Structure 1
Amino acid sequence: MTLSLALPYPVYLDHIRIESRRFREVLATCDPDARVPACPDWTAADLLWHLAGVQWFWARTVRTRPAPPSESALEPERPATYDGLLAAFDEHSASLVAELEAAGPDAEAWHWAPVQTVGTSYRRQAHEALVHRLDAEQTARCVTPLDPALAADGVLELLDVMYGGDAPPWGRFDASGHAVRVDLVDRDASIWVRPGTLLGTDPETGTKHDGPHLQVVDDPGTDPSAVVAGTAADLDAWLWNRRDVTGVTVSGDPAAYDAFRAAVSQPLD
């Protein structure tokens, strides 16, 4: 597994600042009613409020750590005007950075992901801001490049956390016989995954799972069943369904690629 793609925590924090600033800059002059290409039910105003809400939620979660979020907590009311939305975003974004910086990455904190530390939010919120910055730029038709190092870690996070990971205690992962190698051609790095199926029922929600899943694995020392290759930025945007397959190449067993694609085709906002 290519763990060297992870970034130092202060770099994640810098990226939250940088990507959030660019997100705000782009949307400040965008038509509030412009549609977001990757989320066509959203307008630019909806996108602005979405990231404001996400950053508010995680600022509060870090502030009240290590307790899980309270279902009774009052969420902020959506402002009625676009200027109000911009002001709310400024407030919640600044609060997120301040809470993360004050807590430090090693502090215990609730997270839906397996690693229950503030550092998980450092990483997750850097990628959240990056992806929605791309959404903002696509909405305003002024796309700029993604940072290659952050995008490379974004590919790893997508495969290892967002679309995959270890099976929870109540479930089991049935791996297929396929080993797929994902090559980040501009970073001289590869991530190996095994697609398969996650089976089980979540006892807390009663939700039954019987669908595609994958796990990041060590290099098995054998030839891959299929290879998916591209730059880190192209792969990150494609896996987030923010870009088509242009710039990504696929080779090898079509069945292996189909199993991989099934696992990474779940919708993400």
Structure 2
Amino acid sequence: MDHQQNCAIAATLIDRMAGLLSEADLSTPVPTCPGWDLARLITHVGGIHRWAVQLVEARAQERVAPTKGERGDDLVAWLAAGALPVAGLVTADPNDRMWSWGKEQTVGFWTRRLVHETAVHYADAAIALGVDPQIEAPIAVDGIDESLGNLPFATWSPTVANLRGTDSIHLHGTDTEGAEWMIQMNDSGYTFNHSHGKGSVAVRGTAVDLYLLLQGRGSLDSGRFEVFGDRAVIDFWLANAST
């Protein structure tokens, strides 16, 4: 997905999340974010949207604290109001250099990140309300790439440093052409590519299910996956890759 698509998709996902929550009890607990309710989830993701817009508009060259603004009494309306400025980031050059916490120090990092920040927290809201998240397969495929590419830079999550060794993981999206990943751990971390191969463990499922699994929003025991080989390898990965 390119910069223009990312801006549009992120805004669409914000609208989708706001629509889902429009009649919800915001005191509903969010099981995938222990200790949070839907109100806290909205506050978090809406704050990320506004912070990212702030960073991109300033082309920030270092981390800048979010500007605090008024949320008002209607949190869902406040969340929805974030869609327009996110969509407006399309006018920014994705190649402009700026600070990010990830691999790419560009505007494009942030517009892509907003897609997946929103998609995953939309999924949190859907799971809390007992409905299946409606996420398109291309978003999921890009999200797995984005996650694997940026995970080593998630310095706030110390267990990520444990993702090393000699084992390998093959992920196979069963519903989307090209949705395959080979993850090879090594002494310094891991590498990944889109090749087909035999890993220490293989996990098969839809692209969206694999995406949510890697984001800690799914379970290998849900009946949605087939696992072949050494189950302990993927269990180890999931236990240490949480951000």
CA 1:135 to 1:222, structure 2 compared with 1: closer, same or farther past 3 Å?
Answer: closer
Count of residue pairs brought into register by the alignment = 235
Note if 1:59 corresponds to 2:48: no
Note if 1:248 corresponds to 2:221: no
- Determine the C-alpha separation between the residues in 2 that align with 1:86 and 1:222: 45
Note if 1:265 corresponds to 2:234: no
Note if 1:133 corresponds to 2:109: no
202, 227, 232: which one pairs with 1:227? 202
Secondary structure of 2:98's partner?
Answer: coil
CA 1:261 to 1:214, structure 2 compared with 1: closer, same or farther past 3 Å?
Answer: farther
- Tell me the CA shift for residue 97 of structure 1: 2.4
Note if 1:76 corresponds to 2:52: no
Note if 1:147 corresponds to 2:136: yes
Question: What is the CA deviation profile of residues 104-137 of structure 1, one whole-angstrom value per residue up to 9, with x for unaligned ones?
Answer: 3222221100111111112111111111111122
66, 81, 86: which one pairs with 1:96? 86
User: Given the two structures, how large is their TM-score scaled by the length of structure 1?
Assistant: 0.77
Note if 1:20 corresponds to 2:11: no
Q: Can you give the 5+ residue segments of structure 2 that lack an aligned partner in the other structure?
A: 156-160
Secondary structure of 2:167's partner?
Answer: coil
- Determine the C-alpha separation between the residues in 2 that align with 1:26 and 1:218: 34
- Tell me the CA shift for residue 77 of structure 1: 4.8
CA 1:251 to 1:42, structure 2 compared with 1: closer, same or farther past 3 Å?
Answer: same
- Determine the C-alpha separation between the residues in 1 that align with 2:132 and 2:202: 28
Q: Contact between 1:196 and 1:259, CA under 8 Å: does it hold in 2?
A: no
Secondary structure of 2:182's partner?
Answer: strand
- Determine the C-alpha separation between the residues in 2 that align with 1:151 and 1:125: 13
- Tell me the CA shift for residue 29 of structure 1: 0.9
Note if 1:10 corresponds to 2:4: yes
CA 1:227 to 1:131, structure 2 compared with 1: closer, same or farther past 3 Å?
Answer: same
239, 255, 261: which one pairs with 2:214? 239
- Determine the C-alpha separation between the residues in 2 that align with 1:266 and 1:179: 15
Note if 1:216 corresponds to 2:195: no
Question: What is the CA deviation profile of residues 172-231 of structure 1, one whole-angstrom value per residue up to 9, with x for unaligned ones?
Answer: 999522232111121233111123565xxxxxxxxxxxxxx5331474x86432212111
Mean Cα deviation higher: 229-238 or 184-193: 184-193
RMSD: 2.8
More strand by share: 1
User: Given the two structures, how large is their TM-score scaled by the length of structure 2?
Assistant: 0.84
Q: Contact between 1:109 and 1:117, CA under 8 Å: does it hold in 2?
A: yes
- Tell me the CA shift for residue 19 of structure 1: 0.9
CA 1:226 to 1:40, structure 2 compared with 1: closer, same or farther past 3 Å?
Answer: closer
- Determine the C-alpha separation between the residues in 2 that align with 1:222 and 1:147: 26
- Determine the C-alpha separation between the residues in 1 that align with 2:67 and 2:55: 13
**1:182 corresponds to:** 171
- Tell me the CA shift for residue 35 of structure 1: 0.8
Work out which of the two has the higher radius of gyration on C-alpha atoms and give 1 or 2: 1
- Determine the C-alpha separation between the residues in 1 that align with 2:242 and 2:21: 21
Note if 1:156 corresponds to 2:140: no
Letter paired with 1:75:
K
**2:94 corresponds to:** 105
**1:192 corresponds to:** 182
Q: Contact between 1:56 and 1:93, CA under 8 Å: does it hold in 2?
A: no
Q: Can you give the 5+ residue segments of structure 1 that lack an aligned partner in the other structure?
A: 1-6, 199-212
- Tell me the CA shift for residue 236 of structure 1: 0.9
